[in-house]
Structure 1
Amino acid sequence: MIGRLRGTLAEKQPPHLILDVNGLGYELEVPMTTLYRLPSVGEPLTLHTHLVVREDAQLLYGFYSKRERDFFRELIRLNGVGPKLALALMSSLEVDELVRCVQSQDTSALTKVPGVGKKTAERLLVELKDRFKAWETVPAMFALVPNQPGGPEAPAPAVTAESDAISALVSLGYKPQEASKAITSIKEKGLSSEDLIRRALKGMI
């Protein structure tokens, strides 16, 4: 099992990235909440990881914090929740927001995540309630701090940023029409793909 990787962020293509570890490039898929916290390409980065081995593939998932990875592991233990749905849940809501939904048994936010209907949301909240009794919300731990070391990246060309953001939303399970509408409805110009994704997801939730 690969539990942690430390290297240089070589490539960022939401929701995927490549981490260069001593010349070996690891391709990882990350939730959007991790993507928002990534440094600039070329900067050092440490990610907590979870490896999924299937008959047809070996998939590596990366998380900015160990707590996020632990939450991901709790989600994929649930019946009917695979890595794709777990990432969609974690991309749409911060870990502390998800924990609060579990504590209050609030289905409203979960049902807006692709692939989660009311019955599925109710089942997930019931199954998670006992598991999360020991979890405490720590909002400060998850304050968004994008582009940490190395300063801000140069703004991406608008067309590229928008197409990357749409692709990322589609990968989370949103229909192409929904993703395109959510991105094009954002009127502010010059935003990075990460900012576009974050604003689109907040609008959808």
Structure 2
Amino acid sequence: MIGRLRGLLAEKQPPHLMVEAGGVGYELEMPLSSLYRLPAIGEPVTLYTHLVVREDAHLLYGFAERRERELFRELIRLNGVGPKLALALMSALEVDDLVRCVQQDDLKSLTRVPGVGKKTAERLLVELRDRFTAWETQPGVIALALEPTRSAPVSSAESDAVSALTTLGFKPAEAARAVAAVLEDGLSSEELIRRALKGMA
């Protein structure tokens, strides 16, 4: 199991990235809540990781903090929740928001996440309630500082943002509208994604 990865951030194409360590480029997927806090391309980065081994692929998932990885592992233990849905949940809802949804039985917020229907949301609320009881007693579980990294904007920031949202499961037209609604000159793709997700929530 690859538990932690330290190297240089070589590529960043939400929700995908590549970290170069020891001459090897590791491809990872991250929830957008983690990706917002990454440094600029070429800067050193340390990520907590979770490796999923399938018959046709070895998939590596990265997280900015250990607790984010723990949440990911809790989610994929649930019946019917795979890595893709777990990433969608952690991208559309920050950790404190997800905890709040469970505490308040907020079905509406959960069903806004791509791939989460009413029945899935109801089951998530029931199964996560007991698991989050233990989490809430541990300090810092919902105190994540999700300040976006303001890296240099690129000409394809809008396209990258729409592509990232589509990868998460949003319909292309819905993703394009959400990004267009928050589009401003000089914003990075990460900031556009963050604002678009906030607007859709």
The answer to whether TM tops 0.5 is yes
| In 2: Cα distance, 1:175 partner to 1:140 partner | 29
| In 2: Cα distance, 1:20 partner to 1:54 partner | 23
Post-superposition CA distance 1:61-87 (Å, at most 9, x none): 000000000000000111111111100
Local SS of the residue matching 1:155: coil
Contact 2:153 2:189 survives alignment (8 Å): no
Matched, 1:165 2:161: yes
State the 1:166 CA deviation. 0.6
Matched, 1:28 2:24: no
Local SS of the residue matching 1:132: helix
Contact 1:111 1:121 survives alignment (8 Å): yes
Match in the other structure for 2:52: 52
* Structure 2 residues without counterparts, runs of 5 or longer: none
Post-superposition CA distance 1:34-71 (Å, at most 9, x none): 11000001111000000001111110000000000000
From the superposition, tell whether residues 101 and 140 of structure 1 become closer, same or farther in structure 2 (CA, over 3 Å).
Answer: closer
Matched, 1:177 2:179: no
Match in the other structure for 1:13: 13
State the 1:92 CA deviation. 0.7
Matched, 1:81 2:81: yes
Identity %: 70
Q: Which stretch has the larger CA shift, 118-127 or 185-194?
A: 185-194
Local SS of the residue matching 1:48: strand
From the superposition, tell whether residues 139 and 67 of structure 1 become closer, same or farther in structure 2 (CA, over 3 Å).
Answer: closer
1:82-161 aligned at under 5 Å gives the runs 82-136=82-136, 138=140, 141-147=143-149, 152-157=150-155, 160-161=156-157
Q: Which stretch has the larger CA shift, 174-183 or 62-71?
A: 174-183
Q: Which amino acid aligns with 2:79?
A: N
* Structure 1 residues without counterparts, runs of 5 or longer: none
| In 1: Cα distance, 2:134 partner to 2:142 partner | 18
| In 1: Cα distance, 2:47 partner to 2:2 partner | 11
Structure 1 runs of 4+ aligned residues shifted over 3 Å read: 137-141
| In 2: Cα distance, 1:178 partner to 1:98 partner | 22
Q: Which stretch has the larger CA shift, 85-94 or 178-187?
A: 178-187
Contact 1:96 1:138 survives alignment (8 Å): no
Local SS of the residue matching 1:134: helix
TM-score, length-normalised on structure 1? 0.93
| In 2: Cα distance, 1:110 partner to 1:138 partner | 23
Local SS of the residue matching 2:175: helix
Contact 2:16 2:30 survives alignment (8 Å): yes
State the 1:139 CA deviation. 7.3
Aligned length: 199
Q: Which amino acid aligns with 1:104?
A: Q
Contact 1:39 1:146 survives alignment (8 Å): no
Contact 1:40 1:153 survives alignment (8 Å): yes
Contact 2:158 2:183 survives alignment (8 Å): no
TM-score, length-normalised on structure 2? 0.95
CA root-mean-square deviation? 1.4
Contact 1:107 1:122 survives alignment (8 Å): yes
